[in-house]
Structure 1
């Protein structure tokens, strides 16, 4: 950032905004106060009435294993506006979401001119260094194929309503760099990460899809999943491809400030092989379990609010297979709150499940008593470009 001459007067509001950005950039933001109603990510940008003029500030606000998403901002970023809700998976027209997310080379920040519902005919293969920013519009991706991040990095998905996703018919689709790809029988997920890294999924509303709502698989890592609202779904979130895919041992995912429920059954998340830091989330009941896993994953559950259903399973955790039925696995609960008889089965040793964040990744986990406040605005925000979000 260029130095500011001493002769230029900086208003109190601007100085305060710069301070917030600095705190978010350094990861030294103080503990979120219960009275603020905002978590540390939201406080970094939502208080500014000029957020729409400086959309790329959002990239400085991410925390967790995705770290700061500053590769999505700065020099060389092209701003692209979606004006056309139609979709052609082979020859996308300029103005459509697929054109902006696949055919523009380099860094691109995508916004939407107006409210729209987009029915994708094939999965949207998002390019690296892309931010899809739905703030200021009511954007639904629904009743068709949905989003896939395949072999990409540095991607932000923010402010979308993704629901009723369906498995597409196999066939060709345009991918990043104008490369034609042949997709087989798969899909049905709202968002699928396959061999992707450094991805931030924030403030989206996801529900009622044919398969899962969010999958992080096949070696994907350094992912932050924050401020989302997951509801009305069976198998919500899968971290790790299958029991035999050992490359997922390097997977690191942060799951923070999300609202799970109502009517979520299981996988919030289910983890295989890798590591998950699950903090300050609101669990509004479950059907089978909340957090599950197989193949010896490590899980730190920290300052979450678990409200067990009035009837049915009271167990937060579920383990499948493993020597001694998972008794040696490192699953720890730290400062969680349990209501209606919710129970977390801890195993392993607490010192071995620290997230070991670096400076750009770390954040202060808030008090579990404030989780309702932290997650009150989970999901896609109803924002006006002329006022604060």
Structure 2
């Protein structure tokens, strides 16, 4: 009997020890979880498992990662719940119920949703004010065939779950802005989203394609940006980080590019970085024509656990550089995976370009073998409010 009891006690402690080890080896901020049997990433795992997410929309603000930090400044006391009911647009006298009225004129924090599926063709670029969240979940929101979105001198902006495409250039124009003041905008080049002199901006779960210039520009001193879970496709110039070679304020730029799907039919700039810093992690690259990641003016770029699938018969090299590469460059690859002959040429000191996230920004980069699963839901989601599923 004593021997049997000792054996049971020993087995109990072995089981207890195994459980404790498993708990200790599990990261506090897991890189993946499961949703309906499928691996999902750290952002989606934060809110998509919540029952009746449509009644808890603001939970999304606590799910952001990377340099934008948690977007909880967008919620809390005084937040206006604004519903877009009218797809029309008037750049100077927007009607209540339109997207422009909610994004440009409301002075308080505003969380914008949509009453139904909509196709919105903007007359002029849409100027998005500080502390604005545009949340397209639960509807199919299509913005295109004209000028598109501009975040200008703003902070704490969320753009989520939109399809933005076929954006066109437009000359200098006037639009209504905060406090109902008329704002003179210069020429826009036909980008889907242009972020200028702004901070704390989160671009998540959008589908962007076929625009006249680029899909996403982060320029003129903008910093603290996270670009996540988006699907970029059918585009020549995809993503520009840094205004031009002479704009030195972009040395302070910090951008996280994570869980995105690039392709098919993307040519270059995924991203192209000038001066500043980019942490590019857990993205899927479905080919390229010229290059995938490039830079100039001694940027710092850490490419980590991305899956690069080289195109057939053309350039296999992931990277591209312009100018002197003997300076302070730090452009390197860590735990990336290369398929179909893809290759990565490193420049500068390996390990120098660390993101150094704070607690609000930090996340665990997943193993590269999970990238296909973690980017499977990239782009605008089909969220069903009636069934509490997304």
1:289 to partner: Cα distance: 0.1
Q: Are 1:87 and 2:89 counterparts?
A: yes
In structure 2, distance between residues paired with 1:177 and 1:227? 33
In structure 2, distance between residues paired with 1:105 and 1:111? 17
Secondary structure of residue in 2 paired with 1:131: strand
Q: What residue number does 2:290 align with?
A: 288
Q: What residue number does 1:109 align with?
A: 111
Secondary structure of residue in 1 paired with 2:32: coil
Q: Are 1:388 and 2:384 counterparts?
A: no
Q: What residue number does 1:335 align with?
A: 335
Greater Rg, structure 1 or structure 2?
A: 2
Residue by residue over 1:110-167, the C-alpha shift from the partner in whole angstroms, topping out at 9 and shown as x without a partner, is 0000000000010000000000000000000010110000000000000000000011
In structure 2, distance between residues paired with 1:302 and 1:29? 18
Residue by residue over 1:155-187, the C-alpha shift from the partner in whole angstroms, topping out at 9 and shown as x without a partner, is 000000000001124221112232211222223
Residue by residue over 1:211-238, the C-alpha shift from the partner in whole angstroms, topping out at 9 and shown as x without a partner, is 1100000000000000000000000000
Secondary structure of residue in 1 paired with 2:348: coil
Q: What residue number does 2:344 align with?
A: 344
Q: What residue number does 1:214 align with?
A: 216
Secondary structure of residue in 1 paired with 2:214: coil
Q: How many pairs were matched up? A: 361
In structure 1, distance between residues paired with 2:260 and 2:178? 30
From 308, 315, 318, the equivalent of 1:316 is: 318
Secondary structure of residue in 1 paired with 2:385: coil
8 Å contact kept, 2:197–2:222: yes
Q: What residue number does 1:193 align with?
A: 195
In structure 1, distance between residues paired with 2:112 and 2:224? 22
Gaps of at least 5 residues in structure 1 are 1-26
1:36 to partner: Cα distance: 3.8
In structure 2, distance between residues paired with 1:218 and 1:233? 23
Q: Are 1:357 and 2:360 counterparts?
A: no
In structure 1, distance between residues paired with 2:203 and 2:28? 22
In structure 2, distance between residues paired with 1:241 and 1:28? 37
Secondary structure of residue in 2 paired with 1:213: strand
In structure 2, distance between residues paired with 1:382 and 1:76? 29
8 Å contact kept, 1:317–1:345: yes
In structure 2, distance between residues paired with 1:91 and 1:319? 46
In structure 1, distance between residues paired with 2:91 and 2:359? 40
> TM-score by structure 2 length?
0.91
Runs of 4+ in 1 over 3 A off after TM superposition: 33-36
In structure 2, distance between residues paired with 1:383 and 1:36? 16
Q: What residue number does 2:47 align with?
A: 45
8 Å contact kept, 1:123–1:187: no
Q: What residue number does 2:132 align with?
A: 130
Q: What residue number does 1:249 align with?
A: 251
Secondary structure of residue in 2 paired with 1:37: strand
8 Å contact kept, 2:134–2:160: yes
8 Å contact kept, 1:234–1:266: yes
In structure 2, distance between residues paired with 1:116 and 1:109? 17
Q: What residue number does 1:273 align with?
A: 275
Q: CA RMSD in A?
A: 1.2
Q: Are 1:235 and 2:237 counterparts?
A: yes
1:323 to partner: Cα distance: 4.5
In structure 2, distance between residues paired with 1:28 and 1:62? 15
Q: Structure 1 323/258 Cα, relative in aligned 2: closer, same or farther at 3 Å? A: closer
Q: Structure 1 73/33 Cα, relative in aligned 2: closer, same or farther at 3 Å? A: closer
